Every structure is written in structure tokens, then in C-alpha cells.
Structure 1
């Protein structure tokens, strides 16, 4: 039977579906933001660590360690974004190196976990043996740390943020919360004289760090382990509502990175010409794009023949 009578096409769609056209301006902007935040936080770490050691505040030291790990996380995220920006999709790297982004974010989350253990241990030691702290200088440094965190948030803030930028934002929110806790604890020690408030504040900082770690691990893990980022039931219904589509099978969607969503789908169409099948294919791609899919492969087969789709991959 001629092609005009037996349409079956498989395509990746138009320009909108090309993974090789990932926005380099967006990635470059992400790299610059992360580099700036890393530099700011490294300076903040040095100041807070020196102040915490000099004036005996375990809460301030904990916040400094938090800031150090965050700075290292930003450096790693910056490196991942820079590498992804410089390697285009091609025959050797199908989607470029954008998978580095979720990997870096996942490692960032893992790096937070030992910090929680350190903070808990130091807090325990200080509960057993509280020490006097220099409240005035400690308060000034903690306020400075809060300013650093707020400034970093302003640098990162934007409508569309990459996974690493969101991870950095969670780190910064935890840092800001930690600085607030330190400020409150210093004031409490100053006005009540209860030294145990300082290690208690460090425990709160540890909780904030743990929250940051879980949040980053959950989001990056969802990308890294290919959790679907779209409502597949809603997408399937939308595809079935396309004129000419009579069946939808093998619908799969996943993310290469936070800014590149990929999907494949087999569509059965009630058409009898190649032109009609191409029209259905174009409308299917439009629906996929409306649901946030950046790159799609659509197999469109006519249903007027007795066709059996045999999946060549495991489920």
C-alpha cells in the first residue's frame, strides 16, 4: 500500500523540540549568578568562622560551617553550569552535558548531611560544658552574615531558576534562618545569662541544614532518577482531545535537567493520508509543548489498518 494510504511517521518535531537549542544565555546567566554567590559566601564564611572561634560561639561556628558547605556547593553548581554551557548536544553527547546539573545538585545535598552531624556533636559538647561568648562582636558578625545571605538571595532571584539555582536558594534560606537564630541566641544570652542558649541555637541551625539537604536531595533525585515532571494523565487526555487522535500509548516524559523536559509517545490517528498524519503530528507536538515538553519524539500511526505496536523496549 502506498505511503499516502498508509501514513506512519516518526519525528522529533519542529525547532521547539530540538534539544540542541537549549538556551545558552540562560545557562550562562546561571553560571555567573552562582559564581557571584559562591564568592560572597566564601567571604562570609571566613568572617563568621574567625568570629565564632575568637568569641566562643558554637552557633556562629555552626553557621560558618553551613556557609562554607554552601559556598562549596555553589562552586560545584557553577562548574556544572559552566561545563553544560560549553558542550552542545551532538552525536557523542545526545543532550550535551546537562545531566551534570542534577548530579551536582544531588551531591550538594549529600554534602550537607555530614555538616548536620558536626553541628549536633558540637552542640552536645557545649551543652555539657557551656562557655562564655563575646555577645557584642558575635552579634555584629551574625548580622553581617544575614546581610550576606539576603544579598545572595537578591543575586539569585528570578522568575525561572535552574535546579542548581533553586538548590542554592534553599541553602541561602537555611543560612539566613541560621543567622537569625544566632542573632536571637546572642541577645538571649546577653539578657538572660543562660549560656546553654548558644548550643541550643546551633541545634536549630542543624535542623535548618537538614531541611535544606532533604529538599535538595528530593528535587535533584526526582530529575536524576527520571521522575516524570508532567501530569501524564492530564497530558494523555489532552492528546486524546486532539482532532484525529484515537489512541495514545507509550507516553513517557522525563527531565534531562531542570530546564530540559523530554517526552516520547505513540499516537494512533484516524487518518488516511500522509498529509493528514503530519497535521495530527504537528498538533500533538503543540500539545506537548503546551505541557512543558521541550523535546519530543512522536510516532504517529494510522488506525484504519490492523496495526500492532510492538514495544522494542522494556517497561
Structure 2
């Protein structure tokens, strides 16, 4: 996560300078996307680092695992003002197209794409936490944004279509919005304690166990993407605590 954050910081600086020097709003949009991604990765790393090193104890029985969905939610919220800026700048370029330097813009955009592809390779794994999935979605959006800049720049250079630059920036804005929606939906589900599994299926599985007559109450929720907790109230055949202890001892002996 740290390596990805540093890579995106370098990519942001290069693309920001390129966008300002060569007049490409698409390149500026992609640079801002990288900046917010760098902040998102830094926040995700900080949350993961704190969670791994805080044991919790009696006061914090689940540790600080809630920091994961909180950081992911804030990452999603950070996208919203960026999308607004990208769409506003694109609209201004629709009204008043600006001439860009296609050759140098193409070089910078290609470098940005390489940074994103390398970051995806570093981050991807078999099982990712919510923060890691959030970063992964960001990177996919970044890669798509870089491709959009490259295509738009080629269109400007070959077909003399200056409108292709703000069109690409608009597409990047919608890519960012899709990423934000995915992250906000997943993190909100955890923060609002949405059940991650079917209670009917769980009730059926528990009832099928020995000495369980009825399941009166089930609550299932996630503390973070990798920690699921459940409480259940079971009714069994034992008529007294002594009978329950005897049954438990017999099952242990068997």
C-alpha cells in the first residue's frame, strides 16, 4: 500500500505538470485522480497499520478493526468533490476548446498508465480486505483514465478533434464516480451492520445440529471486511442446567 501511494504521488506530480504545461484537462483530471488515490492509500495504510498493532483489551473488545470501513468510507467521500471539479472543467472546455500538445501529453499519459499497471500488479492478491479492494478499484479507475487520455490525445493529433480532450475528462469523472459508489456501498453496509449472510440459511444449519430444538434470535454483522460476528439464542431439550451438563459431558466422552 505504501509503495502504491508513493508511485501515485510521483505520477500526480508528473501529470499535473504535464497538464498545466501542455493544456490537457484530461491529463489534469487524471492527475487529480492520482492525488486523491494517494491520499486514499495513505489513509488505508494508516488504518491497517493501527489495527494490526492495537490489541484492544477489555475496553476495545474488537480492537480498532472499525477503522477499516471508516477509512474506506472517507476515501469514497473524497472522490465526490474531485468528480465535481473534473466535470466542471470538462464543461468549460466544451464551451471553449483549448489547443493541447499531443506528443508530450501522450508521453506523460503513457507513463501514468505504466504506474497504474505496476501498482495493480503490486497490490493484487487472492484475498483482499475492504481497504485493499478500495485501492484496487481506484487503480483500475486510474488505468482506465490513463487509457482515455491516450485515446483522446491520439484523436486530437490524428483527427484534429480538440473536443476529444474534455470528452475523455468526462469519462474519467464517471469512472471515479463508479469507484466512489462501490467503496461507499461496501463500507456503508459494514458501518450500518448489514447482515453479510442469509439468516434463514444459518438458522437451518444451526437447527440441523444435535440437541437444538429452536433458534429464537440471530444477529450477524461485520466489524470489518475480515471479521464477522454472530449472536444466537438457542433452545435445546435440556430441562435443567444439570441435564445440560450431563448431555454435554456425554457428547464429549463420545
Once the two structures are TM-superposed, the CA of residue 276 in structure 1 deviates from its matched residue by 2.6
Once the two structures are TM-superposed, the CA of residue 252 in structure 1 deviates from its matched residue by 0.5
- Where structure 2 has 5 or more consecutive residues not aligned to the other structure, the ranges are none
- Where structure 1 has 5 or more consecutive residues not aligned to the other structure, the ranges are 1-33, 282-315
SS in 1 for 2:121: helix
Q: Give yes or no for the alignment of 1:102 onto 2:35.
A: no
In 2, Cα distance between equivalents of 1:75 and 1:275: 55
In 1, Cα distance between equivalents of 2:113 and 2:250: 56
Structure-2 change in CA distance of 1:182 and 1:275 (3 Å): farther
How many residue pairs are counted as aligned between the two chains? 248
Q: Give yes or no for the alignment of 1:40 onto 2:7.
A: yes
1:52 counterpart residue number: 19
Q: Judge conservation of contact 1:244–1:280 (CA < 8 Å) in 2.
A: no
SS in 2 for 1:90: coil
1:57-96 paired onto structure 2 within 5 Å: 57-96=24-63
1:273 counterpart residue number: 244
**Length-normalised TM-score, structure 2:** 0.94
Higher relative contact order (CA 8 A, sep 6+): 1
In 2, Cα distance between equivalents of 1:127 and 1:107: 31
In 2, Cα distance between equivalents of 1:168 and 1:107: 13
1:42-98 deviations in whole A, cap 9, x for unaligned? 111111111111111000100000010010011111111111111113112111111
Structure with the larger strand share = 1
In 2, Cα distance between equivalents of 1:118 and 1:279: 69
**Length-normalised TM-score, structure 1:** 0.76
In 2, Cα distance between equivalents of 1:148 and 1:73: 16
In 2, Cα distance between equivalents of 1:176 and 1:214: 18
2:151 counterpart residue number: 184
RMSD: 1.5
2:141 counterpart residue number: 174
Structure with the larger helix share = 2
